[in-house]
Structure formats: C-alpha cells, structure tokens
Structure 1
C-alpha cells in the first residue's frame, strides 16, 4: 500500500505535497521576463507621475528595480521576450491565419 499512498499522496497534507513538488516546478520555470513593471512612489503628491517613481516592481515575480533599471528593462523588453521564444514562434505576420 505504500506505493499507492505515495502515488496518490495519501498520508500527506496538501501543503506537504505542494512543498514536495516545489523544487521540480522551480527548476522547470523559465526566467522571468519582467514584462509588467508597476511604479511605486514615496509620497501621495508624486502619485501618477512616472518620472517621480522611486522604484518599480515586477508583477510576475515581485522583484524590485530602481528607476534606471526599469528604463533599461523597458528599452530591451522586445529583445528579451524574443529571446524567450522559439524561432518557430516568431512571425512577421501578426495575422497568420487570415487569407
């Protein structure tokens, strides 16, 4: 029965099963492209003025970046995202199925 227990996760709580599966999930995930950066401000008066943002946070991985780092990430976003895609996924025609 131990084989079936291991197979179906009996005897472990859902949290324990999630912890056991976490290293495998982390090793298979691609690096974060930092595609969506949200600005953060130090005062309410600066709110909405992107040039006054004190930091930027990646929505996907919660990494924090300085304004200079965010500018660099945004300026190289297309190249970084293209590097994550397979050559077969890249196309010059945005509407490949229309005739």
Structure 2
C-alpha cells in the first residue's frame, strides 16, 4: 500500500474506555483521529499544535501532552546517546531544542 496516496482509511478501531461514545452516551458517534508519535514525522508537530490550541481552556491537558512528548524524546535520546528533545519544526533525527512544560520553546 502506498502511504503517500492512501489518505484516511479505517485502520484503527478506537473507543472511549468509559463508554461515553457508545449509543446513548453523551459522546455517541464521536470521530477519533489516531497519530503514531513514534514513527510518523508529522505526529509530534500536530500534537504540539493541539497542545498550543487547547492551552487556554485546558492547561493541564496541554502540559500533559508536552510532557509526554518531551519524555518520549528524552527516552529516545538516552537510547541513542543524544542530549536533546523535540520541537514542532525539526524533522525526526535532527538536533532539537528542548520542550518545557507550558508550551513548545
């Protein structure tokens, strides 16, 4: 399958752990988008953009997203012997400036 021309297709089955997206729930019919933070070079910038977008209304969620991304990158860097973490505008594998809780720096 050529990923560059496939577009969106039903690759994953996702539902809420609390069941609220099931028929009769207050989120029935919810539509989810899954991103692979480990292998998709566009997922980290997208997640950081989401964190920035939701920060005013959901500051804890934004901080949690940034912290998760920073932790993932720090773990990967330790395995590779690199001392940096990710940013929204650097491609995977490059030296990246640090992300701090509170937003991308």
Same fold at TM > 0.5: no
More helix by share: 1
Q: Whose radius of gyration is greater, 1 or 2?
A: 1
Q: TM-score, normalised by structure 1?
A: 0.29
Q: TM-score, normalised by structure 2?
A: 0.28
